Structure 1
Amino acid sequence: MMASVYDIWGAGFETTVATLQFAIIYLLNYPEVQRKLHEEMDGVIGREQELTMDDQKRLPYLCATIQEVQRASNVAPINFVRTTTEDIVVAGYLLRKGMNVIPQMPSLHLDDKLFPDPERFDPKRHLDKQGNFVKSDYVMPFSLGKRACMGESLARMELFLFLGTMVQKCEFQSVDKDAPPKIAVTP
């Protein structure tokens, strides 16, 4: 049991921290996104009120930014091996029962048919015309299917509360304003 708890905590901690690190790097490279996050936070929550999960529906730009960080950063680009349970045709290819398949999320996250100009960091792509957050079925940082990450709901809560609180309480600035840290994503 201890090993299982360690696996859950260790895996979730590492990926959550990596996602938050990417979020800060993106905010340093896209100051207009950070500015919009501050405007939303100041207008809805303020700087003194504690952020809660109930605030999620009132902070669509923060939710969109988190989803865009998950799409653009590809923290876990190659996933665990899956095995087909029956013959299936995918994109015209026959995958026979028992075949090993490795989901590769960048093939979705960086697909220009799904996300025009996929190299550009743009949280607005996850908002509808009314400014409401739209969860994308094509952003899958926690894998897919029955064996997706069992800590997904916890990780989503952590990312919302941690990044939201950091935006609420801090302003991120690069040491060298003319040269923010480079974004190094492994596709």
Structure 2
Amino acid sequence: MYGEVFVNGVKSPLPYGSYGYVDRDDVLIESLTVREMLYYSALLQLPGVFSSKKSFVEDAIAAMSLGDYADKLIGGHCFTKRLPTGERRRVSIARELVMRPHVLFIDEPLYHLDSVSALLLMVTLKKLASTGCTVIFTMYQSSTEVFGLFDRICLLSNGNTLFFGETLACLQHFSNAGFPCPIMQSPSDHFLRAINTDFDR
């Protein structure tokens, strides 16, 4: 495999630390607090002195709106209390943010989240993207409110790219193709129905 990588229109070699990846399943150390978890990640991944690493951790906590949970135990199977699913997802993302990546890949950021938690997380990611970090993630469907926060979308079917471009242009693209999005229907649900003909069999 070969090719060139461009970030925000600029050719980039993507050296170590310039990109981050967040898996769909949260893998966190349950016996640590949120701040301790991020410190641990920073110590393992970042070069330099501890003071600068602490600064990066605090920045990540602020970026993911985890201030109220920073000193709470992550918890899990062996503990009576555990962080809510939405906050655990934020910790997983913050763990990558301590690296200060230029590009952040997230696999299904809204996995297992209720509609309110999903919207709040997407608003946070939108703010993160506004700081210059390119956020790329996979998603199977979303609410209309969440969909409205996307800048660009890429629709895939059977490994083929059906559309890649600005979100509003996608709505027009489907309308021009004879598949206008019905009123009161989520655009993501409409796109899924339009591109997956197996649903109608």
Pairwise TM-score range, normalised by the shorter structure: under 0.3
Give the TM-score normalised by the residue count of structure 2. Answer: 0.22
**Higher fraction of helix:** 1
Higher Cα radius of gyration = 2
Could you say which structure has the greater relative contact order, defined with CA pairs below 8 angstroms and 6 or more residues apart?
A: 1
